[in-house]
Amino acid sequence: MTQEMQANLIFNPKWHDDTAHRTIIKWNTTGLFQLNAVKYNWAKSLYQVMVWNFWLPEKVKWLWEDATQFKKDLTEDEKRAYKGILSFLIFLDSIQTVNLPNFSEYITAPEVNLILSIQAYQEAIHSQSYATILETVVDSKDRNEIYYFWRDDKHLLERNEFIGWIYQAFIDNPNDKNFFRWVVWNFLLESIYFYNGFAFFDTLADSWKMVATDRMINYIRRDELTHVTIFSNIIKEIKKEFPEMYDEKLILDMMDTAVKQEIKWSKHILWEGIIWMGHENIENYTKWLANGRLNMLWIKPLYPDVIKNPYKHLERMQDNNSEKAWFFETTVTNYAQATSMNWSWDF
């Protein structure tokens, strides 16, 4: 029988904040943000990175040039993909903004609550970023079409409903199994669902199309990579502290589901007409990415035959200048393998 999870009390004066006995969940914390006594040093280090990454949509200039290109230079297939992918990204960041405060209520380490709060703020900034793109790049009559693309696209509606169902399942029935599934799905959402969409914008920029939009996407991706790291560490802490909750088979099953959904959606919205992003590349890229994400959890590849990133055309976009950097998925995997989270960022 699965145990019911209990949300944190707002204030619990009968308990204490002793780090020697603290656990990441199911600990009776006082409710104070006692940040001078930290158990999870990876969270403290990640806080510094997330604060240092602070940005606002206003940082990105020249979006008006993208407006001209959207009307004159994009093919009809590229316009459709631009709209549909933006719609999905908007949904992902919207649902995370709402979801994270609920999730944080069950985390009993203030240093981890701290970075979850920053993540929620970043997700809201991402929503504002998409609004800025829509206000500048597309005609006003097209904005609602993008926000509600899922109303007329059954593939996107199916994806959105599935994500909402996973999250809602724990809210409605807060037991151990549903909580662990909730944690894993946060990890999968942050680590798999954004990235073919990101690659599409990079591909446009590689052909000098919609470069300002892609710059905005790169700032968003930099944030998302830290979010992947948050949830990979939470999963590993649960494995260490609550081995009875940890279920590797569930992780693999859910990863396989996420990969299949991402491939199906990406093939649908990108079609074969998008240069460099044929269906074979989409499938291999998604599986390659999944293997890297599982490596962060110290789990063997789910797709051992896929060992290379097929999107080689994007490698030339890498740059060591922080104002020109194109942030890639391998970055977070490499850092997460370190024994400490005192990262040295090389952009």
Catalytic residues: 130
Query: In a 3-state reduction of DSSP, which class is residue 152?
Result: coil
Query: Residue 208: exposed, middle, or buried by beta-carbon count in 10 A (0-12, 13-18, 19+)?
Result: exposed
Q: How many residues in the chain?
A: 347
Distance CA 336, CA 340 (A): 8
Q: Which residues of 232-264 are buried (b: 16+ CB within 10 A; e: fewer)?
A: bbbbbbbbeebeebebeeebeebbeebbebbbb
Distance CA 198, CA 206 (A): 12
Distance CA 15, CA 17 (A): 7
What Rg do the C-alpha atoms of the chain give, in angstroms? Answer: 20
Helices 211-241 and 195-206, packing angle to 10 deg:
150
* Closest to 260 measured CA to CA, from 215, 290, 219: 290
Distance CA 97, CA 130 (A): 14
Kind plus residue range of the DSSP H or E element containing 222: helix 211-241
